[in-house]
């Protein structure tokens, strides 16, 4: 049993953890639940040796543990799988799994054959079906995560901390993950599972610990808890956010896409996108669902002009044919893209909130055609900070210091500043807490109400079904379904997402 006792951790005078008490049981999946900023990540960083200066004690199997660092934690059998994956993109899957603990033969030369063999075995266990020599950088996020899990399995850890493991993977992969987690639990390992997705916690977790504002609020058995009860404990109040599905009819087309194809980067492989056609109407929220690798992100990127050389097909904005060869053209035609990976593609983390929001509209913030109008810029960012409820003291704070939900709102703000007609949202709620999530749903509803056309890509089926007016489904680069949300159910959407051979 791993016990954290009276843990207090301060950052520059700000208390991140306040006298936290935690018991993690072996042979169980221990869920840590709380909003972003509740202190989960900090606590996990202490348990895994990332932070070594804190008050309180950690007791593991009746011994006080004083971790010197992550290596030390690993040696003691505690491994963390981070929300932001820690892999080297330029190395192969095998090399990543064995990074820092390479196998060598008698004379100290890398034993590649043995490592490949072991890697294949681990990959089989996590059901990752690619060549072990594939570069990690060439894998999709979901697959990279499986590599990360394989890596943890390889270290024979007895305590495995999973921070938002399902935030980026498809439902099928979640099922796969749960099978693995169940196996590990049955082997008597202590699983610590952090997730915002309550539904999956009820599927997988045995115990829960609720954290709020740096304190541990309550713990107990999952079976004795209800979803509403948990939400109340997390937020201190009940939240209702499901929207009654609209029966509105949308008639005014804003974006029409006809026979869009996207070639693969390697010439011999099949198309990434094949004959995609659909229409997005004014005021409509269309949810685009698909499993990992279905081509959703690629479709968004193509619409935004990121693949001008590989893409073919016709696009019409307000029924006018448009050529979108770059993001600059896309923006000119009123298209905005909130990308899937906000840290890699959405934000400049080291810069101020203000500079991040204004970057898309700097040309409108100039006086005399050359000098930036500082006051206008400040006012613009202040307006969005207020409108979107970005939690920060000042627009001059550094974007990278905010929580995931607030960062996502900054990305939204910078795109809303361009006054788009068409808003492409790629996984806008990935890795953000439940309150921020509902705020984003409400915002989408409001924007649609004002006439914006929204294309929402999500890996979470319930999100698609609650937030959209219409549901599009993709499978293996093709659009396999396009239906009003009233006709969509979890089972039929999933069916279209899996079976792509339905006649098109």
Partner 1 sequence: MIAIQKNNALNLARLQSLIAMVVLCIIIAIMSDKFLTMDNGWNVLRQISVNICISVGMTLIVLTAGIDLSVGSVLALCGAITAGLLKNGIKLPTLDLFIGFTLLGSLLAGIIAGGALGLFNGFVITKFKVPPFVSTLAMLTIARGLTMLWTQGHPISNLGPAFSTIGTGWMLGIPVPVWIAGVVVLLAIFITRQTRLGRYIYAIGGNENAAILSGISINKVKLIVYGIAGALAAVGGIMVTSRLDSAQPNAGTGYELDAIAAVVIGGTSLSGGKGSIGGTVMGAVIIGVLNNGLVLLNVSPFWQQVVKGAVILIAVIIDKGGKKK
Please report, as ranges, the residues that interact with partner 1 according to CB under 8 A. 11-14, 304, 306, 327-328, 330-331, 337, 339, 344-351, 355, 358-360, 362-363, 366, 370-372, 393-394, 396-398, 401, 414
CB of 392 to partner 1, least distance (A): 8
SS3 content of the chain, % helix, strand, coil (to 5): 35, 25, 35
Give how far Cα 475 sits from Cα of 25, 48, 115, Å: 40, 38, 34
CB of 235 to partner 1, least distance (A): 23
Judged by beta carbon, residue 108 or residue 369, the one nearer partner 1 is: 369
Judged by beta carbon, residue 183 or residue 366, the one nearer partner 1 is: 366
CB of 424 to partner 1, least distance (A): 11
Measured between its terminal Cα atoms, the distance across the chain in Å is 55
CB of 299 to partner 1, least distance (A): 15
Name the nearest CA neighbour of 82 among 168, 9, 156, 23: 168
64 CB-side CA count, 13 A: 4
CB of 426 to partner 1, least distance (A): 11
Contact 257, 313 (CB under 8 A): yes
CB of 359 to partner 1, least distance (A): 5
Please spell the DSSP secondary structure of 184-215, one letter per residue: HHHTTPEEEEE-S-HHHHHHH-SEEEEEETTE
Distance CA 124, CA 131 (A): 11
Beta-bridge mates of residue 3: 23, 59
Contact 301, 312 (CB under 8 A): no
* All residues at 6 or more sequence positions from 53 whose CB lies less than 8 Å from its CB, including other chains: none
CB of 467 to partner 1, least distance (A): 23
CB of 391 to partner 1, least distance (A): 13
Judged by beta carbon, residue 217 or residue 349, the one nearer partner 1 is: 349
Rg (CA), the chain: 24
Judged by beta carbon, residue 314 or residue 366, the one nearer partner 1 is: 366
CB of 56 to partner 1, least distance (A): 22
Judged by beta carbon, residue 330 or residue 465, the one nearer partner 1 is: 330
CB of 218 to partner 1, least distance (A): 28
Distance CA 87, CA 413 (A): 30
Judged by beta carbon, residue 195 or residue 360, the one nearer partner 1 is: 360
Judged by beta carbon, residue 396 or residue 442, the one nearer partner 1 is: 396
Judged by beta carbon, residue 149 or residue 424, the one nearer partner 1 is: 424
Give how far Cα 295 sits from Cα of 105, 291, 459, 491, Å: 42, 9, 12, 21
Judged by beta carbon, residue 37 or residue 165, the one nearer partner 1 is: 37
Contact 234, 196 (CB under 8 A): no
Judged by beta carbon, residue 25 or residue 382, the one nearer partner 1 is: 382
Report residue 401 as tokens.
């210091």
| 183 three-state secondary structure | helix
Residue 116 is inside which H or E element, if any? Answer: helix 112-125
Q: In what order do the strands lie in the sheet containing 253-262?
A: 273-281, 253-262, 311-317, 320-322
């Amino acid at each position: 049993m791993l016990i954290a006792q009276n843990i207090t951790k301060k950052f520059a005078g700000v208390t991140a953890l306040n006298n936290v008490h935690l018991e993690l049981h072996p042979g169980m999946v221990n869920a840590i639940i709380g909003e972003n900023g509740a202190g989960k990540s900090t606590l996990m960083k202490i348990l895994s040796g990332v932070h070594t200066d804190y008050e309180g004690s950690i007791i593991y199997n009746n011994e006080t543990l004083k971790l010197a660092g992550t290596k030390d934690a690993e040696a003691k059998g505690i491994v963390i799988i981070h929300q932001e994956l820690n892999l080297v993109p330029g190395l192969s899957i095998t090399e990543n799994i064995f990074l820092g603990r390479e196998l060598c033969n008698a004379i100290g030369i890398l034993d590649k054959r043995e490592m490949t063999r072991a890697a294949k075995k681990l990959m089989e266990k996590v059901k990752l079906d690619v060549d072990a020599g594939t570069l990690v950088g060439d894998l999709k996020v979901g697959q990279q995560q499986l590599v990360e899990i394989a890596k943890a399995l390889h270290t024979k850890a007895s305590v495995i901390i999973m921070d938002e493991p399902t935030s980026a993977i498809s439902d099928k992969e979640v099922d796969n993950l749960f099978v693995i987690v169940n196996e590990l639990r049955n082997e008597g390992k202590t699983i610590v599972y952090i997730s915002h997705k309550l539904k999956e916690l009820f599927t997988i977790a045995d115990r829960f610990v609720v954290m709020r504002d740096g304190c541990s609020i309550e713990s107990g058995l999952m079976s004795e808890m209800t979803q509403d009860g948990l939400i109340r404990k997390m937020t201190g109040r009940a939240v209702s956010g499901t929207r009654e599905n609209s029966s509105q009819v949308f008639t005014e087309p804003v974006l029409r896409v006809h026979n869009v194809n996207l070639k693969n980067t390697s010439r011999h492989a099949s198309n990434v996108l094949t004959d995609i056609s659909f229409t997005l109407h004014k005021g409509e929220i269309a949810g685009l669902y698909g499993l990992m690798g279905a081509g959703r992100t690629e479709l968004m990127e193509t619409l935004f002009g990121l693949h001008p050389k590989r893409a073919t097909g016709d696009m019409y904005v307000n029924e006018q044919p448009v050529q979108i060869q770059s993001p600059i053209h896309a923006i000119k035609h009123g298209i905005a893209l909130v990308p899937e990976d906000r840290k890699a593609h959405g934000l400049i983390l080291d810069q101020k909130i203000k500079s991040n929001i204004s970057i898309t509209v700097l040309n409108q913030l100039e006086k005399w055609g050359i000098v930036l109008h500082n006051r206008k810029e400040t006012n613009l960012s202040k307006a969005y900070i207020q409108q979107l409820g970005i939690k920060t003291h000042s627009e001059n704070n550094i974007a990278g210091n905010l929580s995931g939900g607030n960062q996502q709102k900054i990305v939204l703000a910078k795109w809303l500043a361009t006054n788009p007609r068409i808003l492409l949202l790629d996984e806008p709620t990935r890795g953000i807490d439940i309150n921020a999530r509902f705020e984003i749903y409400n915002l989408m509803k409001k924007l649609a109400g004002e006439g914006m056309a929204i294309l929402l890509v999500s890996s979470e089926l319930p999100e698609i079904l609650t937030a959209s007016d219409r549901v599009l489904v993709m499978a293996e680069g093709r659009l396999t379904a396009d239906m009003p949300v009233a006709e969509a159910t979890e089972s039929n959407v999933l069916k279209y997402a899996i079976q792509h051979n339905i006649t098109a």
